[in-house]
Amino acid sequence: MNLSPQKVSVLPPMNTYGWANSLIPRWTAYIFRPLGRVQEPASGAGPETPPYQVFRESLWGTYGGWVGAALAFPVQTFLVFYGTSYYKGKGLGAVVAAVYALMLIPFWRLFVRRRDIFRQHLANMSDALRFLLNAGPAMRLQRQRRRFQRQARSLLSAYDRRAPPISVGASTPSPHTPPAS
C-alpha cells in the first residue's frame, strides 16, 4: 500500500484558465491577419509566400490579438466584478475582480508558453517519425561515411602531391616590381 501523498499539479487548471482567457484575443488575431495580405499580380514565381507578406500578416495578427485583449480583458474583469458583487457585495466584488485582473496576463502568457512547448514537442516527434520512416538513406550514408572520408583524403593528398613545391624564404615578385636587369 502506497501511503505517499499524491503529487498534484496546478499547471493544468492554470493552463485551462489561460486558454479560456485567450479565446477572444486569438479570434481577433485570426480575423485581423488577412488585413495584412496584399493581392499581388501573378508572376508565375511559385507558391512560396514572400517573407515581407508573412511579416505583414503576422504583424496584423499581433495587432488583432492586442486589440482583442484590450477589449476582452476589461469586459471579463467587469463581468467578474458584476457577478461577485451581485452575490457577495461590492467590496468583495472589487477584490475578486482586482485579483482576477492581475492574474489574466500571467496565466495567458503561461498558456502561450506551454502551447509553444507542446507544439515544439509535436514537431520533434514528427521529425523523429519522418526520420524513422525514411531511415534507409541516412543509415546507408552512415555506413558509407568511412569510405567517403578515405576517398576525400586520397583526393586531397593527390592534389597536394601535384602542387609545386614551396621554397621557404623565397619571395614571389610583385607584379608592380620591375624586372631586374
pLDDT tens, position by position, 52-67: 777 788 888 888 888 8
The pLDDT of residue 120: 94
Phi, psi (deg, nearest 5) at residue 166: -100, 125
User: Which segments in the chain show pLDDT lower than 50?
Assistant: 1
The pLDDT of residue 32: 81
Q: Which residue from 73, 56, 83, 81 is spatially nearest to 22, judged by alpha carbons?
A: 73
> CA-to-CA distance for 153 and 65, rounded, in angstroms?
57
* 102 in a structural domain: yes
Q: How many domains are contained in the chain?
A: 1
The pLDDT of residue 24: 78
> CA-to-CA distance for 61 and 63, rounded, in angstroms?
5
The pLDDT of residue 37: 73
The pLDDT of residue 125: 94
Q: Are 23 and 73 in contact (CB under 8 A)?
A: no
* 24 in a structural domain: yes
The pLDDT of residue 21: 72
* 81 in a structural domain: yes
Residue 34 lies in domain = 11-38+48-160
What DSSP designation does 34 have?
G
Q: Which three cell numbers stand for residue 12?
A: 493544468
Q: How many CB atoms lie within 10 A of CB 65?
A: 21
Instruction: Give 3-state DSSP helix, strand, coil % of the chain, rounded to 5.
Output: 75, 0, 25
* 153 in a structural domain: yes
* 172 in a structural domain: no
* 43 in a structural domain: no
* 168 in a structural domain: no
* 2 in a structural domain: no
Q: Which three cell numbers stand for residue 37?
A: 495580405
Sign of CA dihedral 166, 167, 169, 171: negative
Residue found under cell 505583414: 56
Q: How many CB atoms lie within 10 A of CB 29?
A: 21
